[in-house]
Amino acid sequence: MVVPAVRDRSEDIPLLVKHYTVQMSNPHIDTNMVEFTEDAMALLTSYHWSGNLTELFQVISKIVSTSEARLITAQQLPLRLSELKSWPSLDEYLVGQKSKYCDMVLHACHGDKAAAARVLKIETSQLD
């Protein structure tokens, strides 16, 4: 059986966060369990969890054990989560660079798509 990585099933992250939060809290002592704001949950959901469930568990564990607040905002999450969110994926970056390069060659060919396609060794339709 193959279980997909948590980064491939972001829709499950809110449920996993809730599960871990409950699991780490003592319901007899903690009457007000930690909850996450929408912006915090959005950040947790959009983060690329390269460490899979272990990394998610460690982040939630640290928050639950160290936070005095009961409502966690995005600003209270580890800085690395918000820093990484601003970087595009490699594929997104390369698509942007490819587009810029094609535009540059097309400009150098004075807008002649056929000439630019020959230089780039691609089909003319790929310049649209």
If asked whether residues 79 and 121 sit together in one domain, one would say: no
Burial 67-80 (b: 16+ CB within 10 A, else e): eeeeebebeebeee
pLDDT of 86 reads: 54
- Residues 62 and 56: their CA atoms lie apart, in Å, by 10
Q: Band of the pLDDT at 111, cuts 50, 70, 90?
A: very high
Buried b (16+ CB within 10 A) or exposed e, 44-61: beebebeeeeeebbebbe
The CATH number of whichever domain residue 25 belongs to comes to 1.10.8.60
Determine the structural domain holding residue 119 and report its residue range: 90-127
- 100 vs 32, higher pLDDT: 100
pLDDT (0 to 100) of residue 8? 82
Where helices occur in 1-128 by DSSP H, the ranges are: 13-24, 38-46, 52-66, 79-85, 90-108, 113-120
Question: Residue 103 pLDDT > 60, yes or no?
Answer: yes
Contact 46, 56 (CB under 8 A): no
Check whether residue 24 and residue 60 sit in a common domain. Answer: yes
76 plus 98 within the same structural domain: no
Cα separation, 52 vs 79, whole angstroms: 18
